[in-house]
Amino acid sequence: MTTFVLVTGAWHGSWCWKRVRDALRRHGHAVFTPTFTGIGERSHLLAREVDLETHIADVTNLIRWEELEDVVLVGHSYGGLVVRSVADRMGDRIAALVYLDAFVPENGQSLHDCLPPEQRQMQVDAAGEVGGWRVPPIPAAVFNVNETDRAWVDAQCTPQPIACFQQKLRLERDGVPAGPIHYIWASGWEGSPFTQFYEKAKARGWSTREIACGHDVMLDAPEALTAALLEIADPVYASR
C-alpha cells in the first residue's frame, strides 16, 4: 500500500479529487485529500490573515498527526508552492514529489512573481472589487475544464485570500525531498503559465510526462492521471 497526499490548487477543495481518490483507493492505496483553510468545506474559516504559510501548515500538520511516511505528495497548480515547502521541511517523509500542472517557484518567489504581469494584475483588480483581500475563482472555462463539469466546478470553487498568492516562499533545502521528483503537464489549454515549469523540470532531469487535457487534470483525465500516479508509486510500493 502506498500513501498519497493530493493537494489542490487555488479555489478548489477536496471535492475535486473524488474520481482519482476513489480510483487509487480501489487499487488498495491510502489517499488523503486535504482542503486548505478558508476554502471549500472550510470556507467558514476564510479570513484576511490566511496565507501561504497557513496552507503549508494544513499539509505538514496532516502528515505529522496522521503519522504518514513514504508519502507520494502531489500538488496541483497553486498547490505546487505548498508541496515544494512541505518537501523542504519534511523531505524524509516524502517518497516521491509530483507537480501536477503546478507552479514551482524559486526560493523567495511568490505565485504572483511567477505570473505574467497581465494575469497578476487581473487577480489584483478582481480582489479590489470585493474588498481587496480575496480573489474570486477564475471561471472553469478559462482552464478548459470539460463542458460537462464547468457549471459544477464554478459552483464548488470559493474565493481565496490574495495573501496566498503574494507571500514569498521560504526554502532551506531548495524544496528537495528524499525521493524522486516528477512533473505532469496539462497541454490542452491556452494561456498556460505552467509550460515554463515543465521545461525547467526537463532541464533539471526530473521525470516528466504530458496529458492532453485542461488544467484540472483530475477532472478532465482522471483515468490517465490515476495511471500516471500508480506508475510513479510502483517503486515506492516495491521498496516497502
CA nearest neighbour of 218 among 85, 79, 57, 40: 79
Active site residue 239: no
**Which residues 6+ apart lie within 8 Å of 13 measured at CB?**
35, 36, 39, 40, 41, 42, 156, 158
Contact of 94 with 86, CB cutoff 8 Å? yes
Residue for cell digits 470585493?
130
Name the catalytic one among 14, 43, 77, 85.
77
- Domains of the chain plus CATH, in order, are 3-238 (3.40.50.1820)
C-beta atoms surrounding 150 within 10 Å: 18
40 burial class (0-12, 13-18, 19+ CB within 10 angstroms)?
Answer: middle
What's the predicted TM-score (pTM) here?
A: 0.96
Residues facing residue 211 across a β-bridge:
186
Q: What is the pLDDT of residue 178?
A: 75
* DSSP secondary structure of 70-95: SEEEEEETTHHHHHHHHHHHSGGGEE
pLDDT tens by residue, the chain, 240 residues: 899 999 999 999 999 999 999 999 999 999 999 999 999 999 999 999 999 999 999 999 999 999 999 999 999 999 999 999 999 999 999 999 999 999 999 999 999 999 999 999 999 999 988 889 999 999 999 999 999 999 999 999 999 999 999 999 999 987 778 789 999 999 999 999 999 999 999 999 999 999 999 999 999 999 999 999 999 998 765 556
Measured CA to CA, the distance from residue 102 to residue 215 in angstroms comes to 9
Q: How far is CA 7 from the centre of its chain?
A: 5
Could you read off the pLDDT of 163-192 as tens digits, one per residue?
A: 999 999 999 987 778 789 999 999 999 999
